[in-house]
Structure 1
Amino acid sequence: MDQDQLLPRDAWLASLPRSYTAAGTLLTDEAGRILVLKPNYRPGWQFAGGTIDLGEDALECARRELLEETGLDREIGRLLVVSWTHPSEALDHPAVHFVFDAGTVPVGTRIALQEAELEEYRWVTEEEAYQLLGEARGPRLRAALAARADGVVRVVAGTVTGI
């Protein structure tokens, strides 16, 4: 391409797609149950996690959100999943979501739920987690569990019809 055909840098940057970016955690207890949280600002259940703040990287976000939402201050382990969600009627921009391994805690670990944003938490079996997480987050769980088992990071892509 000829240099004269290129957009000026500011125009080129403005033409690029923007995306929502978030990070979450897979946390299990010694009985193999998965921690899921029920937000009060939308239907459905989710992993501990949230939107990455300006000046923060995905790993920092995952640790901060786990602490804010559950009261658990844990070292966050390796990346398990990178998820890409295409824009849709439910989501006007693409979304990138990172899922990190937050490890395993003893059965009965106390959760200090962030009441400003969350209604409830549950430790659930894998099957129960798929039902609660639904089509938006279920594929991330399946990929995260596989990545935790074999050490291979997964990439998940799709379109969400309901958030």
Structure 2
Amino acid sequence: MRPNPGSPDAWNAYLAEGNATQARKRVAADVVLRNAAGEFLLVKPTYKPGWDLPGGMAEANEAPERAAARELREELGLTAVIRQLLVVDWVAPHGPWDDQLAFIFDGGVLDEVAVTSLRPHDYELSELRFVRACEAKGLLRERLSRRFEAAVHALAGGGPRYLRNGERSP
């Protein structure tokens, strides 16, 4: 189809054709949450091995920060303010998965009431715990551990980080 910006119907049909044929990315949106002692919240999913950051996958046409907030409500019953972007990581195709964009946002420091009332709210999580950054890096899968480390550096004042497969991009 040839674009015709002078005809709104033809132009919208042209854009719709492009939208239907262009690649779509999966989007993961996680949140770094801390307690007053500076420890980081990790969650243990029931559907995959190991520990993870709170958050999850965005739904169709859902903004990453809204996906992160929704996942916190669904899985932890937590209404948190999603603050600044810390990390964007382009994750290459692996196993059966196509590539994806993985975001990490700052969720701030939870007060004592929020910390003591935290618990898994659905079947997707079996446990949660607060751990020091050095301990978290050992509990998270390798790529996520590198992403988490970049988020910790961003929190310390380094600004948002762009990664490719968990590695700092040139």
User: Which category describes the TM-score, using the shorter chain as reference length?
Assistant: 0.7 to 0.9
Q: In structure 1, give the amino acid aligned to 2:48.
A: R
How far apart are 1:120 and its partner, in Å?
0.6
Instruction: Report matched runs for 1:118-133 at 5 Å.
Output: 118-133=125-140
Q: Deviations over 1:14-46 (max 9, x none)?
A: 654332111110001111111000100111111
- 1:83 to partner: Cα distance: 0.9
- Matched with 2:51 is 45
Report % sequence identity: 36
| More helix per residue | 2
2:98 corresponds to 1:93: yes
Q: Which of 152, 155, 161 matches 2:162? A: 155
Moved more, 131-140 or 15-24: 15-24
Change (3 A) 1:76 1:9: closer
**Alpha-carbon contact 1:139-1:156 (below 8 Å) kept:** no
Native 8 Å contact 2:93 2:99 kept in 1: yes
TM-score with structure 1 setting the length: 0.83
Aligned twin of 1:58: 64
**2 CA distance for matches of 1:97 and 1:69?**
18
- Any idea what the Cα deviations from partners look like across 1:33-65, whole Å, max 9, x if unmatched? 110001001111111111111232111111111
2:92·2:98 contact (CA, 8 Å) conserved in 1? Answer: yes
Query: Pick from 116, 120, 145: which aligns with 1:113?
Result: 120
Cα shift at 1:131: 1.0
- Unaligned 5+ residue runs, structure 2? 3-13
2:5 matched residue in structure 1: none
> Could you tell me the TM-score, scaled by structure 2's length?
0.80
In 1: Cα distance, 2:86 partner to 2:129 partner: 21
Q: Which has the larger radius of gyration?
A: 2
Cα offset for 1:151?
5.0
Q: Which moved more, 1:122-131 or 1:12-21?
A: 12-21
1:121 to partner: Cα distance: 0.5
Q: Which runs of no fewer than 5 residues in structure 1 stay unpaired?
A: none
